[in-house]
Structure 1
Amino acid sequence: LTIGVELAAQPSILFLDEPTSGLDAHSAKVIMDGVRKVADSDRTIVCTIHQPSSDVFFLFDHLILLKRGGQSVFVGELGDRCQKLVKYLEAVPGVKPCPPKQNPATWMLEVIGAGVSTDRARDLDFVDIFSKSEEKRNLDDMLLQPGITTTSPEWPEVTFTKKRASKGSTQMYFLMKRFFNLYWRSPAFNLTRFGIVFGVAIICGLSFLSVDYTTYSGLVGGVGLVFMSTLFMAMAGFMGTLPVYSTDRSAFYRERAAQTYNSLWYFVATTIVEIPYVFGQSLLFIVIFYPMVGFQGFATAVLYWIHVSLFVLGQMYFAQLLIHAFPSIEVAAVMGALINSIFLLFAGFNPPASTIPEGYKWLYTIVPQRFSISILSALVFCDCPEEPTWNESLSQYDNVGSNLGCQPLTGTPVTISHTTVKGYIESTFKYNYDDRWANFGYVFVTIIIFRILSMLSLRYINHTKR
């Protein structure tokens, strides 16, 4: 498959690094027969191979034989059934002739001291012998011909004015098309996350049908509902993104090495392709979840949908960052779980922001999840344009508005004095309604930071093992 992908570009020269590694003799012969056919179609094949069978070895035209250290022992044509190579080595004093039925590849390695068995010919300096041979003189004469290692008036020097063949807009177009096709052809990934979103919306909706958020237990449960439902969607997206981009990473490394495209356009394509799917799945969630749990207000629902989408999108971008930065999907998953777990401890819900020790307040200040949960909770529980006033003589609130945030909180423990829904959320969890737009800005900054780090990882980190 890898050879076929490379041939799709119709290259005039093809480099193969041990294409028969890990294959049995029959499979290796089938592969190399195909490579031989490619070579017969006026293409040059440069191939490294280690101790091939005789059937495979006979398919080659020329050989560069190296000893340990990378020095040349033989460079030239092999001839029919490798007779030129055999005659050259047999002509060296002290070298035993090649047995009639022995594989020439195995025999030559034993002769130069790279085989399994020992031979006294290993004491010979084959590098020095080759440097004084007729084959070496013929090689030097060929290299001195005009147009090979020296300039020629008939063949002007090939120069490239651009690093890549296609311009940036073309690279971006085809990468965008590639990723949208990849997502469209990955129904398991997309249907799974849409199914999870649907299931979470139904379960949460049924669990919080007709809940009274003006009671202490109902309000605390409502904040937990916002926290857990959003978190579950984000984590499902995070874990689903890891295998998709881990699989594509090897193709990216190969294509980047071939200068097929600029990594910037790969980064842009992976950024854009997630957006419609994330906003689509979040819309499905809001349409089911929002009315079932009793939240109200169309404008608030739109803002809730936008920010749930941004929170999930941020987690998916975070998953991409970890895949690019760490060597394997397992390490990325562990690091993601560790970082998210630490951040969620200081998101202000459990423990509540008001109870976080002073020494850890700085973590509460910087964790991205805090901004997201603060926005969502404030939108549905803290919207109160004009807060009611407490009437001491009547022990009740006056001028109570219709919004949920303005309602007095009932059923509170004895340790909590009179308060409203908004007052309790803002004093206990520090989710302030007036900070919602600033928090929106912080969320965007967090997403931008994730993307910048991801771009730097794409550009400067390479986990290729070969």
Structure 2
Amino acid sequence: MLEVTALAQERNLGVDFGEIYKKSDLYQRNKRLIKELSTLAPDSNDLNFTTQFSQPFLVQCQACLWKQNLSYWRNPSYTAIRQFFTTVMALFFGSAFWDLGGKRKKQQDLFNSLGSMYVSVGIEIPYIFVQSLVYGCIVYAMVGFEWTLTKFFWYWFFMYFTFLYYTFYGMMLVGLTPNYAVASIISSAFNSLWNLFSGYLIPRTKIPIWWRWFYWTCPVSWTLYGLVASQFGDLEDELDNGETIKEFIRSYFGFKESLIHGVAMVVVGFSVLFLLLFAYSIKRFNFQKR
């Protein structure tokens, strides 16, 4: 049927099936039938519902959570691959920056250990709680950062919420863009800009003043701020030039260990922001075409 009524057949026959249908008796009968069925009977009322949805919001959330839980349990290969990839990447970065966290006699040694943090936050794979914990334990131990409960907690905290906001960022792009191609272009563009203005390749103190606003709106810069400040912001060890690590972190990067709690709130805020934008886009935008 579709082949017979296709646009190519119309061109071959030199006719317009739509116009033929509008002039037919069938079209007129259908219009009268629609009008008749649309008119309420004298003793009937319009359908009326007390609520917009059949179930409350919390019940809908429980149903969706149950559905997603079943989806994950029925797809063990997906979860296994994610866990495997997490472990492999942790071993890779840990071996690449082996024991550099304890070598802090020169500025070059400090930059090497900072590099392990930078490449870590660039991973765009969504990790759940356990995956971030596995990743954090492996990298933290292999790089050789200081083993204190507070510092390890901050390292895991910033890595966990970095994975979260990258995940929600991807979800947000899917909701805000009409197709995969557009989402990929926007994602690649912003990832490049985030890496450039994260404060590692070009520290904040050396970014031109007219571009510094982008640094403050870059989520990766806040992750790097939190990781560096939490691990090195309180160290009084002297570098080869006589400057302490704490002083170097402040003068070169502009990072202050005393602001770590505020930085943590901003990182959490990015996760919430991307999630809310995703929820709004799903509710308001519809790019489907018939």
State TM-score, norm by structure 1: 0.54
* Contact 1:348–1:370 (8 Å) recurs in 2: yes
What CA deviation, in whole Å up to 9, does each residue of 1:349-405 have, x standing for no partner? 11222322233222222211111111011111122xxxxxxxxxxxxxxxxxxxxx1
Work out the CA distance in 1 between the residues paired with 2:140 and 2:271: 25
The higher relative CO (CA closer than 8 Å, separation ≥ 6) is in 2
- Tell me whether 1:324 sits opposite 2:219 in the alignment: no
SS at match of 1:331: helix
Match of 1:165 among 43, 54, 74: 54
| Counterpart code for 1:463 | F
* Contact 1:279–1:306 (8 Å) recurs in 2: no
Match of 1:282 among 108, 113, 132: 132
- Tell me whether 1:425 sits opposite 2:249 in the alignment: yes
Matches within 5 A, 1:28-39: none
Tell me by how many angstroms 1:116 deviates.
5.3
| Counterpart code for 2:157 | I
Match of 1:456 among 260, 280, 283: 280
Aligned length: 282
Work out the CA distance in 1 between the residues paired with 2:245 and 2:87: 29
- Aligned equivalent of 2:104: 214
Work out the CA distance in 1 between the residues paired with 2:197 and 2:39: 65
Tell me by how many angstroms 1:438 deviates.
1.2
Q: Which has the larger radius of gyration?
A: 1
- Aligned equivalent of 2:260: 436
- Aligned equivalent of 1:130: 25
Match of 2:160 among 309, 328, 353: 309
- Aligned equivalent of 1:291: 141
SS at match of 1:434: helix
- Aligned equivalent of 1:190: 79
Matches within 5 A, 1:261-276: none
| Counterpart code for 1:198 | T
Work out the CA distance in 1 between the residues paired with 2:48 and 2:159: 52
| Counterpart code for 1:453 | L
Tell me by how many angstroms 1:188 deviates.
4.4
SS at match of 1:406: coil
Tell me by how many angstroms 1:338 deviates.
0.7
- Tell me whether 1:346 sits opposite 2:210 in the alignment: no
Greater share of residues in strand: 1
- Aligned equivalent of 1:369: 220
Tell me by how many angstroms 1:282 deviates.
0.6
- Tell me whether 1:229 sits opposite 2:117 in the alignment: no
SS at match of 1:407: coil
Tell me by how many angstroms 1:326 deviates.
0.9
Tell me by how many angstroms 1:128 deviates.
6.5
Matches within 5 A, 1:384-423: 405-410=235-240, 417-423=241-247
| Counterpart code for 2:213 | W
| Counterpart code for 1:322 | L
Tell me by how many angstroms 1:169 deviates.
2.5
Tell me by how many angstroms 1:225 deviates.
0.9
Work out the CA distance in 2 between the residues paired with 1:142 and 1:204: 67
* Contact 1:151–1:157 (8 Å) recurs in 2: no
Give the % identical residues.
22
Tell me by how many angstroms 1:174 deviates.
0.9
Gaps in structure 1 of 5+ consecutive residues: 1-48, 53-104, 106-112, 238-276, 384-404, 411-416
| Counterpart code for 1:464 | Q
* Contact 2:86–2:135 (8 Å) recurs in 1: yes
Matches within 5 A, 1:22-61: 50=2
* Contact 2:174–2:180 (8 Å) recurs in 1: yes
Work out the CA distance in 2 between the residues paired with 1:309 and 1:140: 62
State TM-score, norm by structure 2: 0.84
* Contact 2:103–2:110 (8 Å) recurs in 1: yes
Tell me by how many angstroms 1:139 deviates.
9.3
SS at match of 2:125: helix
| Counterpart code for 2:215 | Y
Work out the CA distance in 1 between the residues paired with 2:253 and 2:281: 36
Work out the CA distance in 2 between the residues paired with 1:225 and 1:183: 31
Tell me by how many angstroms 1:115 deviates.
9.2
SS at match of 1:441: helix
* Contact 2:125–2:167 (8 Å) recurs in 1: no
> Given the superposition, is the C-alpha separation of residues 442 and 157 from structure 1 closer, same or farther in structure 2, using an over 3 Å criterion?
closer
Greater share of residues in helix: 2
What CA deviation, in whole Å up to 9, does each residue of 1:115-141 have, x standing for no partner? 95479xx9x98867739xxx95x9969
> Given the superposition, is the C-alpha separation of residues 191 and 329 from structure 1 closer, same or farther in structure 2, using an over 3 Å criterion?
farther
